[in-house]
Amino acid sequence: MAALAGTDLEITLGERCSSVVGVLRGGRGAADAPAVLLRGDMDALPVTEETGEPFAAPGGAMHACGHDLHTAGLVGAARLLSRHRDQLAGDVVFMFQPGEEGFDGAEAMIAEGVLNAAGPRVSAAYGLHVFSSTLPRGQFATRPGPMMAASAGLIVTVHGVGGHASRPHAAADPIVVAAEMITALQTLVTRQFDVFDPVVITVGTFHAGTRRNVIPSHATFEATVRAFTPDALDRARERSVRLCTQIAAAYGLTADAAFAGEYPVTVNDPDHAQFALDVAADLFGAERAHLLKDPMMGSEDFSRVLAEVPGAFIFLGACAGDDPLTAPTNHSALARFSESVLPDAALLLAELAVRGLRRLSG
């Protein structure tokens, strides 16, 4: 809130989450003027930071996905546009969104009316995401159609019989059975899914036992599942659950396997994706605006917004080192982001709003 002091934004706070919505009324807009939405997310991850930065987050909450840059970039765009609101041919909605990392903050904000915050429903929406690796610093990239994958969660608990580690035959060890499930899930991906309709299953947590000489009574693991089509995700649901329950049964154990849907595929409108690339090329030079060849397996709840209104999601390289191909990736405890990209992030978002409203108003 303090960062928006002195702007002309009409500010509303969320009720279901700690969201902030700002509306900037364009000085040239008529009563029925169009509106565009700019989004920045602002949450951290439960990661203990190991970058050594003097501003490293304490307490195991790290901005390991660069969302603090997203928020700062959106604040910069709000300040730029507020100083030039007389040039706006409509209104701009600023979506400061919490909870992208699993809470589905976009869904909560949509339910609370962010898409209609200016009065009429927004006609276009744009968001931006930075990367600590993959893209060279200062490079923008997007693509038409699927941009990021749908995501779901697979949660499995294997129920065994605990006992002494020296007498495994007298117990029913859930750890080795869960470990076999994890290996089998990787084979499932390579042998039952088309490589041209890809699926990724990655186990991120595994919890079992209290001491090395005790066989526990249960083991639990959780995996993230990614796909680009509803059909592939549905098949992943059916086959992963079946695989885990039947492996457990083969060893005389039981397993609870739950599959929980999370975010849909992030799909860019082709016209808006090209528009975003053209604006970036015009502002920063064609050598810094790239058509992304393939979508990424990461997922985003900005997909909720793009499912409601046309728009585009844009990537921005923010690698703090010299080689983005070897730099620590987003979500790594070593991920570092270059703040030097912030002025360009703010300028691109602001210019997308200016030119977007101009296009919408004719």
Could you give the CA distance from residue 158 to residue 298 in angstroms, rounded to a whole number?
Answer: 28
Point out the residues that are catalytic.
263, 339
- Domains delineated in the chain: 2-148+266-361 (3.40.630.10), 150-261 (3.30.70.360)
Tokens in use for 241? 């659950």
Could you give the CA distance from residue 312 to residue 329 in angstroms, rounded to a whole number?
Answer: 23
Q: In the prediction, which pLDDT does 29 show?
A: 56
Q: In the prediction, which pLDDT does 3 show?
A: 78
Q: In the prediction, which pLDDT does 147 show?
A: 95
Q: In the prediction, which pLDDT does 28 show?
A: 63
Which residues, 6+ apart, have CB-to-CB distance to 288 below 8 Å? 138, 139, 140, 280, 281
Tokens in use for 288? 């810094």
Burial zone of 304 (CB within 10 Å; 0-12 exposed, 13-18 middle, 19+ buried)? buried
Which residues, 6+ apart, have CB-to-CB distance to 169 below 8 Å? none
Torsions phi, psi of 278, nearest 5?
-65, -40
Could you give the CA distance from residue 150 to residue 197 in angstroms, rounded to a whole number?
Answer: 12
Tokens in use for 35? 């509106």
Q: In the prediction, which pLDDT does 32 show?
A: 77
Burial zone of 21 (CB within 10 Å; 0-12 exposed, 13-18 middle, 19+ buried)? buried
Which run of H or of E encompasses 37? strand 35-41
Q: Are 22 and 96 in contact (CB under 8 A)?
A: yes
Q: What is the pLDDT along the chain (362 residues), one digit of tens a residue?
A: 677 777 888 888 878 887 789 999 987 656 678 999 999 998 888 888 888 888 887 888 888 898 888 999 999 999 999 998 888 999 999 999 987 777 888 999 999 999 999 898 999 999 999 999 999 999 999 999 999 999 999 999 999 999 999 999 999 999 999 999 999 999 999 999 999 999 999 999 999 999 999 999 999 999 999 999 999 999 999 999 999 999 999 999 999 999 998 999 999 999 999 999 999 999 999 999 999 999 999 999 999 999 999 999 999 999 988 898 988 888 888 888 889 999 999 999 999 999 999 998 87
134: left (phi over 0), alpha (psi -120 to 50) or beta: left
- CA-wise closest residue to 265 among 114, 134, 149, 136: 149
Burial zone of 228 (CB within 10 Å; 0-12 exposed, 13-18 middle, 19+ buried)? buried
Q: In the prediction, which pLDDT does 6 show?
A: 76
Could you give the CA distance from residue 288 to residue 137 in angstroms, rounded to a whole number?
Answer: 10
Cα torsion at 168, 173, 175, 180 (round to 10°)?
100
Q: Are strands 289-291 and 199-208 parallel, antiparallel or unpaired?
A: unpaired
Alpha-carbon distances, residue 241 vs 181, 337, 343 (angstroms):
10, 38, 47
Expressed in angstroms, the distance from the first to the final Cα of the chain is 34
Write b or e for each residue in 74-113: b if 16 or more Cβ atoms lie within 10 A of its Cβ, otherwise e: bbbbbbbbbeebeebbbbbbbbbbbbbbeebbbbbbbebe
Could you give the CA distance from residue 227 to residue 99 in angstroms, rounded to a whole number?
Answer: 21
Alpha-carbon distances, residue 360 vs 234, 303, 346 (angstroms):
38, 22, 21
Q: In the prediction, which pLDDT does 183 show?
A: 97
Q: Are 149 and 226 in contact (CB under 8 A)?
A: yes
Name residue, tokens 């036992």: 209
Longest Cα–Cα distance of the chain, Å, equals 80
